[in-house]
Protein backbone atom coordinates (compact mmCIF):
# COMPACT_ATOMS: atom_id res chain seq x y z
CA UNK A 1 0.00 0.00 0.00
CA UNK A 2 1.35 3.44 -0.89
CA UNK A 3 1.54 6.36 1.49
CA UNK A 4 -1.17 9.04 1.36
CA UNK A 5 -0.52 11.73 -1.21
CA UNK A 6 1.08 14.78 0.35
CA UNK A 7 1.81 18.31 -0.71
CA UNK A 8 5.33 19.70 -0.72
CA UNK A 9 4.72 20.90 2.86
CA UNK A 10 3.93 17.35 4.03
CA UNK A 11 0.22 17.90 4.67
CA UNK A 12 -2.44 15.68 3.11
CA UNK A 13 -4.17 16.92 -0.01
CA UNK A 14 -7.85 17.79 -0.32
CA UNK A 15 -9.78 17.24 -3.55
CA UNK A 16 -12.55 19.73 -4.32
CA UNK A 17 -15.05 18.28 -6.80
CA UNK A 18 -17.71 20.15 -8.77
CA UNK A 19 -20.16 18.89 -11.43
CA UNK A 20 -21.92 20.80 -14.17
CA UNK A 21 -23.98 20.01 -17.26
CA UNK A 22 -24.41 21.90 -20.53
CA UNK A 23 -26.08 21.09 -23.81
CA UNK A 24 -23.79 18.85 -25.87
CA UNK A 25 -23.76 21.38 -28.71
CA UNK A 26 -22.09 23.90 -26.36
CA UNK A 27 -19.53 21.53 -24.82
CA UNK A 28 -16.43 22.91 -26.57
CA UNK A 29 -17.45 26.50 -25.93
CA UNK A 30 -18.02 25.81 -22.22
CA UNK A 31 -14.79 23.81 -21.90
CA UNK A 32 -12.85 26.82 -23.25
CA UNK A 33 -14.69 29.14 -20.84
CA UNK A 34 -14.00 26.80 -17.91
CA UNK A 35 -10.27 26.78 -18.74
CA UNK A 36 -10.15 30.60 -18.88
CA UNK A 37 -12.06 31.07 -15.61
CA UNK A 38 -12.16 28.34 -12.97
CA UNK A 39 -9.13 26.34 -14.05
CA UNK A 40 -6.95 29.42 -14.51
CA UNK A 41 -8.02 30.96 -11.20
CA UNK A 42 -7.49 27.68 -9.31
CA UNK A 43 -4.01 27.23 -10.75
CA UNK A 44 -3.10 30.81 -9.83
CA UNK A 45 -4.27 30.45 -6.21
CA UNK A 46 -1.51 29.76 -3.67
CA UNK A 47 -1.94 26.27 -2.24
CA UNK A 48 -3.46 24.75 -5.39
CA UNK A 49 -1.69 21.53 -6.37
CA UNK A 50 -3.42 20.75 -9.65
CA UNK A 51 -6.62 20.81 -11.67
CA UNK A 52 -8.33 18.07 -13.65
CA UNK A 53 -11.25 18.90 -15.94
CA UNK A 54 -13.22 15.86 -17.13
CA UNK A 55 -15.91 15.85 -19.80
CA UNK A 56 -18.23 13.28 -21.28
CA UNK A 57 -21.05 13.53 -23.78
CA UNK A 58 -24.09 11.50 -22.89
CA UNK A 59 -27.05 11.83 -25.23
CA UNK A 60 -27.62 15.58 -25.69
CA UNK A 61 -25.74 16.62 -22.57
CA UNK A 62 -22.12 17.43 -21.84
CA UNK A 63 -21.22 16.53 -18.27
CA UNK A 64 -18.20 18.18 -16.63
CA UNK A 65 -16.40 17.13 -13.48
CA UNK A 66 -13.88 19.63 -12.15
CA UNK A 67 -11.37 18.31 -9.62
CA UNK A 68 -8.95 20.66 -7.95
CA UNK A 69 -6.30 19.56 -5.46
CA UNK A 70 -5.42 21.71 -2.45
CA UNK A 71 -2.85 21.62 0.31
CA UNK A 72 -5.31 22.87 2.98
CA UNK A 73 -8.76 24.24 3.70
CA UNK A 74 -7.15 27.68 4.03
CA UNK A 75 -5.91 27.36 0.44
CA UNK A 76 -9.44 26.44 -0.71
CA UNK A 77 -10.77 29.50 1.10
CA UNK A 78 -8.33 31.70 -0.84
CA UNK A 79 -10.06 30.49 -4.00
CA UNK A 80 -13.69 30.03 -2.92
CA UNK A 81 -14.09 32.37 0.06
CA UNK A 82 -15.04 31.64 3.65
CA UNK A 83 -18.12 29.62 2.66
CA UNK A 84 -15.84 27.25 0.74
CA UNK A 85 -18.37 24.39 0.53
CA UNK A 86 -20.51 26.45 -1.84
CA UNK A 87 -19.84 26.20 -5.57
CA UNK A 88 -17.84 29.09 -7.02
CA UNK A 89 -19.50 30.34 -10.22
CA UNK A 90 -18.50 32.89 -12.85
CA UNK A 91 -20.77 35.38 -14.66
CA UNK A 92 -21.38 33.35 -17.85
CA UNK A 93 -21.90 30.01 -16.07
CA UNK A 94 -25.63 30.81 -15.94
CA UNK A 95 -25.64 31.11 -19.74
CA UNK A 96 -24.09 27.66 -20.20
CA UNK A 97 -25.18 25.39 -17.37
CA UNK A 98 -28.55 23.66 -17.26
CA UNK A 99 -28.59 24.08 -13.47
CA UNK A 100 -26.27 25.54 -10.85
CA UNK A 101 -25.41 22.99 -8.21
CA UNK A 102 -25.15 24.91 -4.93
CA UNK A 103 -22.38 22.89 -3.29
CA UNK A 104 -19.14 21.06 -4.07
CA UNK A 105 -17.71 17.95 -2.42
CA UNK A 106 -14.40 17.74 -0.59
CA UNK A 107 -12.41 14.54 -0.10
CA UNK A 108 -9.14 13.71 1.57
CA UNK A 109 -6.79 12.35 -1.09
CA UNK A 110 -5.45 9.03 0.14
CA UNK A 111 -3.36 8.09 -2.89
CA UNK A 112 -2.29 9.94 -6.03
CA UNK A 113 0.65 10.18 -8.40
CA UNK A 114 3.50 12.40 -7.17
CA UNK A 115 2.89 16.10 -7.77
pLDDT digits (tens, 9 = 90+) for 23-80: 999 999 999 999 999 999 999 999 999 999 999 999 999 999 999 999 999 999 999 9
In a domain, 64, yes or no: yes
Residues spanned by the domain of 31? 14-108
Report whether pLDDT(17) > 50.
yes
Question: CATH number of the domain that 68 lies in?
Answer: 3.30.70.100
In a domain, 115, yes or no: no
In a domain, 102, yes or no: yes
CB of 88 within 8 A of CB of 77? no
How many domains is the chain partitioned into structurally? 1
Question: Looking at residue 11, what is its pLDDT?
Answer: 52
- Partner residues linked to 61 by β-bridges: 23, 58
Q: Sheet of 48-58: strands edge to edge?
A: 48-58, 61-70, 14-23, 105-108
In a domain, 113, yes or no: no
In a domain, 93, yes or no: yes
113 versus 42: the higher-pLDDT residue is: 42
pTM metric for this prediction: 0.88
In a domain, 74, yes or no: yes
In a domain, 6, yes or no: no
- Confidence band (pLDDT; 50, 70, 90) for 115? confident
Q: Quick one: how many helices (H) and strands (E) in the chain?
A: 4, 4
Burial of 21 (0-12, 13-18, 19+ CB in 10 A): middle
Amino acid sequence: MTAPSQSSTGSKLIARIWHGVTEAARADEYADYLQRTGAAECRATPGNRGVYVLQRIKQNRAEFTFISLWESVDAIRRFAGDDYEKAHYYPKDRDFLLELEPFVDHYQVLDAPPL
